[in-house]
Chains A and B, each alone.
Chain A
Amino acid sequence: MKKLIAVLLTACMLFTTCGKNKKQNENGNVTITFWHSFVASTIPALEDLISQFEKEHPGIKINAQYVPTGDALIQKLITAIQSKTAPDISWIHSDFLADLVDADAIYEMAHFIEGENGLSQEELSDIYPALMQYASLRKKIYSIPMEATNLALIYNKDLFRKAGYDAERPPQTWDELKTYAIKLSEDYNHDGIYDQIGFFVPVYPSSGPLSGWMTWQWIPYLWQAGGYIVNEDQTEVLYNSKAGVQALTLWKEIYDSLNLSSFTVDYDVAFASQRVAMSMDGPWNLPRFNNIMKNIDWAFAPLPEGPEKRATVVGGEYLVIFKQSPHPDESWTFIRWIIRPDVQARWAMKSGYLPVRQSVKSVPEFTQYLEENPNFKVFVDQMEVAQAQRPLDNFGLQITRHIAEAIEAATLGGMDPQEALNRSAEKSNKLLKSVQKE
């Protein structure tokens, strides 16, 4: 017992001492702490990016710290802000930007953009406008996108051929999507449950971690039908309009006719085992799919065109600078550097994410890369029709949840789409009214 305690005490001392000698600021260098949530497979690309930056900026060191994503990142940020131990830069998802702004925790980007080392109007408008919309709140820019993503259709060419479809011509319209979805479904053992699904409609519990993922995939359909989530002055939601009903009806019809409530497998597992013919996904999965699905002939294609127009939704991660940071200008230098076209090209090719600037497409290496990677090109091309939802100034999280509840109610719950959307809209409008009163 005594021995054990002695060993522990020594261990304790050892641990603390070797922790201490790692402190920053050795020779006048500035160290920027940067929180990110890249998964293991993307980290080499990030390390490459950082070493490149440090080579070009000898006075600045980047200390990239991995923080688990989702709720963990939020909890981490909350406690860090409260204890004044926030990093200099963090990546965030746009859904909780409003709370960071309301807490006065982050800089408004105008502070840097208009500064000496700022961005010209030209450069600023070179960033995809949809991304800048997500990066802003109440018409002010609070973050800068580090990379872009969007949503496309993934389909199994072999199953297309088997069903007698042209494998190079995925569905172009909603009607085609519906007929393809039904024709590509198979019930091998005739037990009344489809063993192969034509189109996976991403319905998840609205209360769960995939709720936002579901809404994110539904929103493009709302736009394709010409709809909006909220009106211009944010006094009323519009997702229960005719367009909303159309979009939700499309999902519901496919969901019901394929009896998808009996299909509880993860869609990527199902797709890889040839049980799903069409599904939707983003570019982040490209490297993984290349690895898992070597034996299948598959491809990405743009989302089908809706009754009104083509549209997809953008995502991506956004960088913010904390007011607690002792080195805001050096932090900006890093962000400013990341969005340089050549850096963006290099980062996109290594990480599999999409560049945030339109001019990257004219970087020669990138043009060549696109030709060699047609699936990646689908996403880059789709950026032209990629939209962002009008940023919700208040109750963004709750309203997104309400939409998810409507989707779940109409598909899994079997409710009439109009009624489901109206119920949710009523809740959302009540919240929006409470803001107006204040």
Chain B
Amino acid sequence: MATNNVKIQKLGKSILTHGVIYLLAFITIAPFIWMILTSLKDISDIFVYPPKWFPDKIQWNNYARAFQAAPFGRYYLNSIFVAVTVTLGQLITCSMAAYAFARLKFWGRDVLFYIFLGTMMIPYQVTMIPSFMVLHWLGWIDSYQALIVPGLASAFGTFLLRQFFLTIPKELEEAAYIDGCSKFRVLWQIILPLSKPALATLAIFTFMGTFNDFIWALIVVNSEHLRTVQLGLAVFRDRYITDWDLLMAGSVMATLPILIVFFFAQKYFIKGITLSGIKG
């Protein structure tokens, strides 16, 4: 009898938590669903007030039209190429820098770290023109380097990984040092495998940030063959006119790669890591 009650209570609780969390999830995802539904509407269905959720007739055609409005195939390749390169590069540079900040004690380390932190507090709107000038001095305007190289260092990424490395028990490394491992090998063979959730997080954020970047790509690139998806999407918006059907179709297409990466990277959160066997 008593155990039955407990079971019912547990079941009730589980249903409640599921209910709450699925409701929240629905509220947060609704705009995305709206976006997909809008991308399938005829333009006259979009211009309806109060708005309707579902299209009268599904217009797959919007996708074809959006795709043809500009060379989106090329734009896609560019976006993905740039985002993947920047992500890989940042994982390497940031984990090295983060390790130095988290584990190596050396003169000036903390000052340097605070400088890193401080630069994040200056909004990019005032730094983008001088960054652009540096690129110009290097002669890199209108090139892939312009899209990639500035993204290869990140104060955010360094900070993120440093914080994560700090949570890893030191005992593990000490054992390795005693075995005569170099710092680099410790980072590569011990720290990084343990940091998969953090690396996956950084990878998602970097990929997303680079893929979604508009303003930097806008100012450093002129040629058609270097343009990215986000620049392409701008063609659907004028000062006063927005081609909502095409913009929504284009936006859905631009969102998919990130969703795919997110799905892929998620397994590193779920699998997790068990640090059993380490003394607390």
Which A residues contact B (CB, under 8 angstroms)? 4-5, 8, 11-12, 15-16, 18-19, 22, 37, 39-41, 43, 65-66, 68-70, 72, 75-76, 78-80, 82-83, 85, 209, 213, 265, 268-270, 272-273, 275, 282, 284-285, 288, 291-295
Residues of A within 8 A of B78 (CB): 15
- Nearest-neighbour CB distance to chain A for B102, whole angstroms, equals 23
How many contacts A-B (CB < 8 Å)?
112
Does residue B153 face the partner (Cβ distance < 8 Å to A)? no
Interface size class of B (residues with CB under 8 A): 35 or more
Give Cα distance in the complex from A215 to B140, angstroms.
40
Task: Please give me the residue from chain B that is nearest to A273 by CB atom.
Answer: B49
User: Which B203-261 residues have C-beta < 8 A from chain A?
Assistant: 215, 218-220, 222-226, 231, 234-241, 243, 246
Interface contact B129-A39, CB-CB below 8 Å: no
Q: Mark B20-51, 1 if CB is under 8 A from A, else 0.
A: 00000000000000000000000110111100
Query: In the complex the two chains form, is A282's CB within 8 Å of B240's CB?
Result: yes
Measured between beta carbons, the chain A residues less than 8 angstroms from B168 are: none
CB distance from A158 to the nearest CB of B (A): 16
Are A68 and B240 within 8 A (Cβ)? no
Which chain B residue has the least Cβ–Cβ distance from A268?
A: B47
A40 touches B141 (CB 8 A): no
Quick one: which of A4, A18, A41, A270 contacts B49, CB cutoff 8 A? A270
Q: A5-B88, A40-B70, A270-B49 are in contact. Are A284 and B241 (CB under 8 A)?
A: yes
State A275–B141 Cα separation when bound (angstroms).
49
In the bound assembly, the distance between CA atoms of A65 and B235 in angstroms comes to: 11
CB-CB under 8 A from B143, the residues of chain A are 16, 19
**Is the CB of B268 closer than 8 A to any CB of chain A?**
no
Q: 8 A–B contact pairs at CB < 8 A?
A: A19-B225, A39-B236, A43-B235, A68-B234, A75-B215, A76-B218, A79-B220, A83-B141
Contacts of B81 in A (CB 8 A): 8, 11-12, 15
The answer to whether B156 has its CB under 8 Å from any CB of chain A is no
- CA of A5 to CA of B91, assembled, Å: 13
Measured in the bound complex, the distance between the Cα atoms of B128 and A43 in whole Å is: 30
Cβ B223 vs Cβ A39 within 8 A:
no
Contact B237 A75 (CB under 8 A): no
Nearest CB of B to A432, in Å: 27
CA of A275 to CA of B50, assembled, Å: 10
**Known contacts A12-B144, A68-B218; 17 further A-B pairs (Cβ under 8 A):** A4-B88, A12-B81, A40-B246, A66-B70, A68-B234, A72-B218, A78-B129, A79-B132, A79-B220, A80-B222, A269-B47, A269-B48, A275-B49, A282-B240, A284-B238, A285-B240, A293-B44
The residues of B that contact A288 with a CB separation of less than 8 Å are 241
| Bound-complex Cα distance A76 to B231 (A) | 12
The B42-72 residues at the A interface (CB cut-off 8 A) are 43-44, 46-49, 69-70
A8 touches B85 (CB 8 A): yes
In the complex, what distance in Å separates the CA atom of A293 from the CA atom of B49? 13
User: Contact at A70–B88, with CB atoms within 8 Å?
Assistant: no
Query: Complex: how many Å from CA A4 to CA B239?
Result: 42
Asked if B170 is an interface residue, CB under 8 A from chain A, the answer is: no
B243 contacts A68, C-beta separation under 8 Å: no
> When A8-B84, A269-B49, A273-B47 are in contact, do A68 and B222 touch as well, CB less than 8 Å?
no
Alpha-carbon gap, A19 to B235, bound state (A): 22
Residues of A within 8 A of B172 (CB): none
Residue of A nearest to B236 (CB): A40
Evaluate whether A39 and B238 lie within 8 angstroms (CB atoms) in the complex, with A19-B225, A269-B48 already known.
yes
Q: Does B133 contact A (CB under 8 A)?
A: yes
**A5 CB contacts on chain B under 8 angstroms:** 88
What are the residues of chain B within 8 A of A43 when measuring CB–CB? 235
Per the bound structure, the CA–CA distance linking A79 and B215 in Å amounts to 12
A83 to B128 CA separation, bound complex (whole angstroms): 13
B55 vs chain A, min Cβ distance (A): 15
A40, A85, A293 interface centre (most CB from chain B within 10 Å): A40
Q: Smallest distance from the beta carbon of B58 to chain A beta carbons, Å?
A: 18
Say whether, besides A83-B141, A282-B240, A19 and B223 are in contact (CB < 8 Å).
Answer: yes
With A5-B88, A8-B85, A40-B70 as known contacts, state yes or no: A70 contacts B239, CB within 8 Å: yes
Which 4 pairs between the two chains have the least Cβ-Cβ distance?
Answer: A68-B234, A272-B47, A83-B136, A40-B69
